[in-house]
Amino acid sequence: MTTTRHNQGSDNEPRDREAQQLLLATANRLFGDLCNKQVLEAAENGEFPLALKDSLAEYGFHRLADHDSGFALCDVFAVLQVAGYHALPLPLAEWMLANRFLPDTEDDFASIGKLRGTQLLNVPWGREARRCLGITAEGKVVSATTSDWAGNYNIAGEALDSAVSEAHTPISTSDNIVELLALSRCAMSVGAMTRLLELVVEQVTVREQFGRPLARFQVIQHDIARAAGEVAASDKALECALAQLDSERQKNEVALACARVFEASQIIADTAHQLFGAMGFTHEHILHHYTRRLWAWREDYGNERHWQASLGRSLCAGGPDQLWPFLATER
């Protein structure tokens, strides 16, 4: 797959372009080799992808978001875009961001959930995590000590566990963890949509009706063109958000990216199933591993309506004099 080249400010500039390209090539090769349909189905049946987790740790992917990793945050989200392209059945975003906030340097698997009272909720593979972070309703980050794990799964078959938080310690950070996690879902969704578009183009090229490939029908060409436009627009929205990480525009750009990407993800998933027909609804086909993830990720940290409202409130709060500069200045 290809990933977007980003033009960041100095605080978010990739340290080394060649290193970034090597990182993404390594991620693409590693994820492609280790994440096949058998691994996806095993994870959906409750088997923790231990070999995948160990390989990612061996290559150091779980430490990419560390402040001293040598890579910028935009590189982290570029890797997550690759993870989405391969439907990676491991919460790499939570693992990387948890290590960014946790004070020690242990390499055990870590995850992040939502802390509500004494309950730590929706922790991806929480039962396998040695360390967990909780996000309070106010967006604060705490380190949680947990017990009594209860297993559950989202619509994509990804493990989402809950536990009792026996104690938690506040963690001081300038990062907005909710925005970063929402942006991780944007990046993964763009990767998954890119792969879906490839699968659909391949399908309509080889499948025939009335003696000619589906791709020769004008209505199918229209659907493909619309899907390609949605993927391109989503990729650009993600690029703009990554370019403004650690800037005063981050909040609005993240909201804009989430609104655009999550709206597009529904269109892409619908189009893919429509063009694949009944075959795409079978469990044996790989299509559902992508579309169900798009549906799940869309809701994890607010869907497009949530982020549209957030952007609207923010722009209104800035007043009419701030609206045009936001729209017209370089992004």
Q: What is the pLDDT of residue 215?
A: 67
Domain with 34 in it: 10-99
Position 328 scores a pLDDT of: 83
Handedness of CA 312, 256, 298, 119 (dihedral sign): negative
What does the pLDDT read at residue 10?
A: 40
Please indicate, yes or no, whether residues 250 and 267 belong to a single structural domain of this protein: yes
Q: Give tens-digit pLDDT for 27-53.
A: 999 999 999 999 999 999 999 999 999
Q: Are residues 206 and 274 in the same domain?
A: yes
**pLDDT at residue 217, as a whole number:** 81
Q: In this structure, are 184 and 208 located in the same domain?
A: yes
Residue 309 lies in a domain: yes
b/e map of 130-167 (b: 16 or more CB within 10 Å)?
A: ebbbbbeeeebbbbbebeebeeeebebbbbbbbbebee
- Report how far residue 53's alpha carbon sits from residue 92's, in angstroms, rounded to the nearest whole number: 9
Query: H or E segment at 165?
Result: strand 160-171
- Residue 5 lies inside a defined structural domain of this protein: no
Same domain, 141 and 86: no
Are 320 and 193 part of one and the same domain?
A: yes
Q: Give the whole-number percent of the chain exceeding pLDDT 90.
A: 71
Alpha carbon separation from 62 to 23, 98, 243 (Å, rounded): 13, 9, 22
Asked if pLDDT for residue 2 goes beyond 80, the answer is no
In this structure, are 205 and 275 located in the same domain? yes
For residue 246 the two structure tokens come to 């650690």
Q: What is the mean pLDDT of the chain?
A: 90
Q: Are residues 68 and 153 in the same domain?
A: no
Q: Residue 7: is its pLDDT beyond 70?
A: no
Cβ pair 259, 227 in contact under 8 A: no
Give the CATH number for residue 311. Answer: 1.20.140.10
Domain count of the fold of the chain: 3
**What's the pTM value of the predicted model, to 2 decimals?**
0.91
Joined together, the tokens standing for residue 292 give 């169900």
Residue 29 lies inside a defined structural domain of this protein:
yes
The radius of gyration of the chain from alpha carbons, rounded to an integer in Å, stands at 20
Beta partners for residue 116, in sequence order: 119
Q: How far does Cα 86 stand from its chain's mean position?
A: 12
Beta-bridge mates of residue 279: none
Which of 99, 127, 155 is the C-terminal boundary of a domain?
99
Examine the domain organization and report whether 18 and 39 are in the same domain.
yes
Do 111 and 57 sit in the same domain of this protein? no
pLDDT of residue 150: 93
Which of 234, 191, 213, 197 is closest to 86 using CA atoms?
Answer: 191
Residue 87 confidence (pLDDT) above 50: yes
The encoded tokens of residue 194 equal: 């890119």
Asked if the structure places residue 222 within a domain, the reply is: yes
State whether 112 and 16 are in the same domain: no
The first and second tokens of residue 325, run together, are 């500069």
Cβ proximity of 220 and 271 under 8 Å: no
Identify whether residues 320 and 251 lie together within a single domain: yes
Q: State which amino acid sits at residue 69.
A: S
Contacts of 83 (CB under 8 A, 6+ apart): 27, 31, 92, 93, 188, 191
> DSSP assignment of 118-151, as one string?
TEEEEEETGGG-SEEEEE-TTS-EEEEEEEEEE-
Q: Where is the domain boundary, 128, 154, 171?
A: 171
Judgement on whether residues 124 and 193 belong to the same structural domain of the protein: no
- The last residue of one of the domains, among 50, 65, 99, is 99
